[in-house]
Amino acid sequence: MAKNDNNDDNHTDNKHSSPVTVIVKRIAKKDKIKEFEEWLSGISKEVSKQEGSMGIDIIRPTNYNKSKLEYVVIFRFNNYANLTKWEKSPIRDEWLQKGRKLVEADPDVQKLTGLEFWFTPYFKDESSPMIPLNPPPRYKMVIVTIPVISILLMTLVPQIHILTEMLSIPFPVRLVIALTITVLLMTYVIMPLLTKLLKSWLFKT
């Protein structure tokens, strides 16, 4: 029993040390669009200032004459601890109180970690086509991730080891450097690009 408990604790620790994506859907009141946009801009800037914030994307409604004006906000933190700090902060409570009168109902919130984090859509502009915000099936995430990791392990990582070895950097430090560069490339460059290129297959319903 003790062994299982330790495994559960390790799984929980890994989950909470991983990056996390939060997807929030809010329906703005039609007669409060200007006020809602100002509120959204303000709280977004506040999120961006927080420790561990990894960026924020906003998807606005494409047709403001629709019955429901749904806004989708996607923001990311480097771990659950920093996300929790934001969620428990007084400044967040103040902004949420200000926004209550501008929306139709309570927000719909999703939190994604692990592989799901890498496959969360990154929207760089409002012209990006809408795609489902639920993560793709796990088998598709695995199919895409394994080749990418394999290529990096066979090409980039050995080069990093050679370079750091020439600089007489100890092996444990070299390993950390290689892993750090790999994760940063996966998070900020490779996976956002692949998610965009493969979206029609990844998010096919």
pLDDT at 33: 92
CATH number for domain 2-113, candidates 1.10.287.3240, 1.10.10.1110, 3.40.50.1110, 3.30.70.100 = 3.30.70.100
Q: Where are the alpha helices (DSSP H) in the chain?
A: 2-17, 33-49, 80-87, 90-99, 115-118, 138-154, 156-166, 171-185, 191-197, 199-202
The residues that bridge with 71 in the sheet, in sequence order, are 26
pLDDT at 17: 64
pLDDT at 114: 64
Q: Is the pTM of the predicted complex or chain greater than 0.75?
A: no
What's the pLDDT tens digit per position in 123-156? 444 444 444 456 678 788 888 888 988 898 889 8
pLDDT at 111: 81
pLDDT at 64: 66
CA dist., res. 136 & res. 126, Å (int): 22
Residue with tokens 């902004």: 95
What residues does each domain of the chain span? 2-113, 138-202
Residues of the chain with pLDDT under 70: 1-17, 64-66, 114-135, 205
